Amino acid sequence: MAGIDIDTYLCSGCATCVVLCPEAFRLSPITGKAELVDPHQALTEGVREAAAYCPERCILLPEEEADSPP
């Protein structure tokens, strides 16, 4: 099972995910884009909310990856 992934190419660095779920997301000091605080982050309601409100739709959740067409 794949974990939570962030498409950093799409990420604009708006920090919506950090505001909604600071325990899971932070902005990289190098790129200014979103990254996970813990690479093995559990899928929580806060993570789901951050993914839902991400304006760039760059937070990929495991079930979305499974449902995506090839």
Q: What is the CATH number of domain 14-58?
A: 3.30.70.20
Domain ranges of the chain: 14-58
- Residues (pLDDT < 70) of the chain are 1, 64-70
| CA-based nearest residue to 11, from 23, 22, 25 | 25
Cβ atoms of 4 and 58 within 8 Å: the answer is: no
Write down the pLDDT at residue 65: 44
Write down the pLDDT at residue 68: 47
Q: pTM of whole model > 0.75?
A: yes
- What are φ and ψ of residue 68, in 5° steps? -70, 145
Write down the pLDDT at residue 36: 98
Write down the pLDDT at residue 63: 74
